[in-house]
Amino acid sequence: MLYKYFLILFFSFINILSIGVKASYDYYGRIAVDSQSLSRTNAGTKLDIASNESKLGLKGNFALGNKSETKIIYQIEYGIDLVDGKVRGDDGTLKKRNTYLGIQNKLGTLFVGTHDSAFKKAQLKVDLFNDLAPDIKNVLHGENRLEDFIGYITPKYQGVFSATFNSIKNSSSSRKKYKSYSLNYSGNRFLAAFAIDEGMKGYDSSRLSFIYPFAGSKLGFIYQETKELSSGMKKNGGVLSFITNINSKGRIKFQYAVSSMKIDLGKHSTIGYDHQLIKGLRIFTFYSVLNSRVTSKEKNIFSIGLEYKF
């Protein structure tokens, strides 16, 4: 499917050159590598080096005419693995991430491609260890990035309210689509979102997220309920996070996630510290403990690593 997007982009750029419309684009990336000491019950301790969802991308937009309010938007993003030479679980060295083509104007944004679901985006960055070992995807369902994706985001009402709608191809059924929706609020005093997944990979889920910033700190909260469609079994879970600046370059982070969705009585507790070295470059460390009724799932992780964003 991706070659179709490249063809569309190619002919769009040819059209831009022919009509003299100015385009805007930006290269970006994230390189994150850490060394982990992993301890398991009755399995000893081992050392590992992880690439942590490193990525490279290109994104941009161009107006459909010099005075037009309508823009074509695009993004091409791939994950890379600096450690193993290939992305874990895939045969190649690259893994497609959020890659899409869309149109944007005062009526909203419509796009197609590969993208994070509205449900996943509704976590609002409550997850302070996203793309690292303590990522909330280890205990909660719904952290999905999907292909054959159609998304629509409404304009912001009064500058703070918006809604997102997703329809995604269901690989197991030609008739039923995966559906994902969210209602979002982004005000000066707090952020909030309510999201629903319908039939998403065999689960119906609802999620409420909240972030409250204050005095150089942020308090985050997620509550989620998920029903397995095949069994009708319902489970819930939650995340509580807190981050605070301790000086101009350092910040300390705490996170607690609990759920039985993926691990029986899973409880994931993490404390971490980030220190900004220069613009775009930080050193980070964390200590994470995963507890469960199933002792073979339990583990402790100590990590120290570097992240560079550009």
pLDDT, tens digit, for every residue of 41-80?
877 899 999 999 999 999 999 998 878 889 999 999 999 9
Q: Residues 93-107: pLDDT tens digits?
A: 788 999 999 999 999
* Confidence (pLDDT) at 44: 85
Contacts by 249-252 with C-beta closer than 8 Å and gap 24+?
Answer: 249/275, 249/276, 249/277, 250/274, 250/275, 250/276
Please say whether the beta carbons of 80 and 55 come within 8 A: yes
pLDDT < 50: residue spans in the chain: 1-3, 7, 14, 17-18
Please say whether the beta carbons of 110 and 151 come within 8 A: yes
In order of their start, the domains of the chain are: 2-309 (2.40.160.10)
Give the predicted TM-score (pTM) of the model.
0.90
